[in-house]
Amino acid sequence: MARACDLCGKGPQIGNQVTTRGKKKYLGGVGTKITGITKRKFKPNLQRVRVAAENGGSKALWACTQCIRSGAVTKVVKKVPFALPTK
């Protein structure tokens, strides 16, 4: 099973790896030539994140970095921040 983001469903995409050879024209060459095209896979940047659940618990899921940065994920607070004593 291929890994995909549990929130947005982003998964691997298929593309081409293009190999070029030669010196560019503006550098004084005759131009670059394509010498090979092979298939490749663009994999999403997935991170294992512990997410706060509705019932107060937590669960781990795979989330892409775009979902983490956009705020679609609410991470579990491991330790309560330090609070100053009030008088």
What's the structural domain count of the chain? 1
Question: Is residue 37 situated within a structural domain?
Answer: yes
On whether residue 20 sits in a domain, the answer given is yes
Per-residue pLDDT of 18-66, as tens digits, reads 999 999 999 999 999 999 999 999 999 999 999 988 888 889 999 999 9
Q: Is 3 within a domain? A: no
Q: Is residue 86 part of a domain?
A: no
The CA-based angle 12-17-19, given to 5 degrees, is 170
Domain that holds residue 60: 13-70
What does DSSP assign to residue 65? H
Tokens of 65: 């970095």
The reported pLDDT for the residue numbered 31 is: 95
The answer to whether residue 1 sits within a structural domain is no
> pTM of the prediction?
0.67
Does residue 34 form part of some domain?
yes
Whether 60 is in a domain gets the answer: yes
Whole-number pLDDT of residue 46: 95
Write down the pLDDT at residue 2: 65
**Is 82 within a domain?**
no
